[in-house]
Structure 1
Amino acid sequence: MSLSLIDDSGTRRPPAGPHAPRVLIYSHDTFGLGHIRRCRAIANSLVASYPHISVIIVSGSSVISSFQFGDGVDYVRIPGIEKQSDGRYFPHHLNLDLGDTIRLRTEIIKQVVLSFDPDVVIVDKEPLGLRGELAPSLEILRRRGARIVLGLRDVLDEPCKLNEEWRLSGAVDALAHVYDDIFVYGLESVYNPLLGLPNQHLFADKVRYTGYLKRAVPSPMPPNRHPRITKGPFILVTPGGGGDGAGVIDWVISAYEADPTIELPALIVFGPFMSREKRKEFTDRIGRLPKLESIGFEPRLELLMNRAHCVVAMGGYNTFCEILSFDKPALIVPRVKPRREQAIRAERADSLRLIDVLHDPMQNGDGPRDPMQMAKALHALPKRLPPSQAYLPDLLEGLPAISRALADELSSPVRRRALTQNAMAAG
């Protein structure tokens, strides 16, 4: 796997004219970093391929301002909604009830759609948006003739749960009647995220497997002051956003406490959503172990991933893409609640010899975590072959595949849809 791809999202380009094509990307962002990081990667790739276009990301992420976007990309932040570990939703900051917050988000999204008037819309994961908040905007977009694309990660959930959830929300009908395309950011040989949905004949011809989204080393690279252990070989431990990552971090720390002979030191990145209490508890324990160091949040995690010798992670989609992109031996400790998405991905990847998987017994109700089980896995991890040794064709072709698929709408220097509408109005 080549590591030559460089993220040039900081590069300035000449401004485009007001009539260049426009893309809107919707990301509901209720938990963690996954959705906004995926949308950012797609947006930056599109403006790299089509420098004249404009992209707006509509997102509920509370940390979206921490990320670097390419010239031609901007964002509108809608009021945040937080998803609890039990699956319930609450407003993140506002002192409103959930219904009022959803109505406010719905109106903001609709106004962005009306004002920006995109040629292409990419909806991340939720066909009708959170609690149906996107439905009014989708009606407007259909009337205006925009190309509407649903973008799905490789795994959504267990088929029975996805079927129930999407049937009740009306999402299955939207696949058939609202969307022009369904992009799956993975490979069919790894997993079919729509497995088990009814009436597949109504939307099967819209599905396109793009491959995974390759991540890049950020450039230009400012001076980063990372902990001393990153100067040599080390294990990167990342729970993604960190909101539900305390278990894997506790297990890794306990392994170093129980077995000081683990060869490689480890850098633990807590993530922005880990509670202060847990972070303090872990920091105190790490301070007593010479082979462990920690940092809070690194929005340019690709720098550390590229530098690390190997990785321990929970197995969210974006972390999995980074592991593949930077070709790192990896141990995945997936969560199983509120969705089995990570466990399904990890088990499939393990069967394809891309990574190793270790299940957390406490998540499965099988008893306490054994520090020596994790220590054994950490001893073996540096000797594991990288993912590239399990060759899968087109594994990381997602970003160029998306750009090619949207070429008809984005390659022209002017907005073809706007020209068509003007011609029809004149006639």
Structure 2
Amino acid sequence: MSHLFSRFSTRLRRLPRRHAPVAAPKPDLETLSRRIILPSMPVTDEEMARASYQDCGLKLARQEMWEELGRRIREADSTRAATPGGESGALLLAFGARSDVVAAAEDALHDGAAPAPDGIDALEAVGAEFAGDYAIALVVALAHVDLAWAWRGAPPRGDAAAAVAQAARHLARAADILDPHCGFAENAPSLAAAQCALMVGAQDRQEASIADHFEDLIDLDPASPRHMRALGVALLPERQGSYRLLELEARRTAARTGDIWGAGAYPWVYLDALALDHGALAMVDTAFFIDGLRDILRRSPDQHTANLLAAFCAVTLRGDPAEPEAARMARARLQGCLDWILRDHLHELHPLIWTQALRRPGASPLPSRRALISEGRQTALRAIAAQFADDIAGGDSIAFSPAGMYRLPSI
């Protein structure tokens, strides 16, 4: 395919943009689909990999094959099995195994009723039967964590005080279940990640302690960006952290993982933190951040990562015109990375990643999958059209391939 593009096309010119993205013309979606030649993947390798792990965990739990489930979780931990996008295979297996219990509780709360205890009691019984197996303890503990968030999100009949008490009870029980185990001693990143998540939710958490535990977790599994992104969120001021500590830990993490990520850990730590709190821009070293983005895409040239970082620049970093000048300049520099990410790295569109960038984590209820895919596709096409408004307005098309992006002159 690439040789056809090189024969009949000319390399996309790096022309100065005549209009800011907000002022660029907005052709209808049908026109954009013709002008922007980019294969759209409604189901991606990342989704298929996640579903495979989750379905396996669900099947083993339904068949009460708990010993086999524990073995598979431990094996996934020991091999650092992960999806193409870096999601932990062990945690996905655990998610599938508890999903029936959690879904039933969420449905009850959505209907305004307290969940029946049967499901979580059954998991507790399994945990007692396999006492000493951290993998089964992980499933039971994370079921309690999920129930805690469900109570916080949808208290029955509006009884907020009771919901808070129930959430606290589930979180305390999860901590008790995991307390006899140590993620570092077990060589189990999934266990260490769960313990870090519980610390983040604790009322008496301390900045230094959180950072130290995440340092151990990241050292245990440095190839996974998931832990770095969770660290950034944990250190936000709204989580009782600070921008100062967020910046410090982003730099320290980059220094410790340079042999794997280059400077990539620096933007990984900031990625979700910036999505939740644009105030963190005030501390960002934009040159270091941009170097890190380039290192990430050199080491992870997959399309999941390319879409993730393109959507971050195009959608997540949309800002407030009234923000301070320093933050506005930092944002503009990071948004400028969209150009080379699109030109040099993107050749498939993963719509759900773009939809996710539009929504604050935890937002609900969500539309149908088809609606989410459509929303993500429209968002991506309009962002690309704004970035290359001159070429599209002039009647040209732009095409994406593994060899790079090309301009197709109008005939």
TM-score for the superposition, normalised by structure 2? 0.31
- Structure scoring higher RCO (CA < 8 A, sep ≥ 6) equals 2
| Structure with greater proportional strand content | 1
TM-score for the superposition, normalised by structure 1? 0.31
Who wins on radius of gyration, i.e. which is larger? 2
